[in-house]
């Protein structure tokens, strides 16, 4: 996992529901915890674009429902700023499921993903259809 050049806006707190943007069979995920989060006492951990989160599957096929999975945030509704000054935001909050080696579990990604995700996780960029 590589660092990102941009300063990211963290906008998805623990407990947030997000869509699953791959073809694994899961539809809705709920964030349980954020990996590598360093915060302050009594502050809820939050996640932003290209963050690793631990989630539970709330809606989807019987195989995936009630499972704990690792996911990477690929889209957020909250806009974030890139170093060149451009501001980017998407229509929904979405993530894709990954394994322990940060490789995507699914074989396709539905919709666009942010360029920052590909900078950090190059294996995800190989199966992405649209990179913004």
Q: Cβ distance 64 to 30 under 8 Å?
A: no
User: Is 10-131 a CATH 2.40.150.20 domain?
Assistant: yes
Q: Which of 1-15, 56-70, 76-90, 93-107 has the lowest mean pLDDT?
A: 1-15
Per-domain residue ranges of the chain:
10-131
Classify residue 25 as left (phi > 0), alpha (psi -120 to 50) or beta.
left
Q: In Å, how far are 64, 98, 104 from 123, measured between CA atoms?
A: 22, 10, 7
36: CB partners within 8 A, 6+ apart: 51, 52
> How far apart are the C-alpha atoms of 52 and 29, rounded to whole Å?
13
pLDDT band at 6 (very low <50, low <70, confident <90, very high): low
Regarding pTM above 0.85, the answer is yes
Alpha helices in the chain (DSSP H): 115-120, 122-127
69 pLDDT band (50/70/90 cuts)? very high
């Amino acid at each position: 996992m590589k660092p990102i050049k941009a300063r990211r806006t963290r906008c998805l707190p623990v407990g947030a529901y997000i869509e699953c943007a791959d073809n694994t069979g899961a539809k809705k995920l709920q964030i349980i915890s954020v990996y590598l989060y360093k915060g302050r006492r009594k502050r809820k951990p939050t996640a932003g674009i290209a963050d690793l989160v631990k989630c539970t599957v709330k809606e989807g096929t019987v195989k995936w429902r009630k499972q704990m999975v690792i996911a990477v945030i690929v889209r957020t509704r909250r806009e974030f700023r890139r170093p060149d000054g451009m501001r980017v935001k998407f229509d929904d909050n979405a993530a894709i499921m990954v394994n322990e080696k940060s490789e995507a579990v699914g074989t396709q990604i539905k919709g666009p993903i942010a360029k920052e995700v590909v900078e950090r996780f190059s294996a995800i960029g190989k199966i992405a259809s649209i990179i913004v």
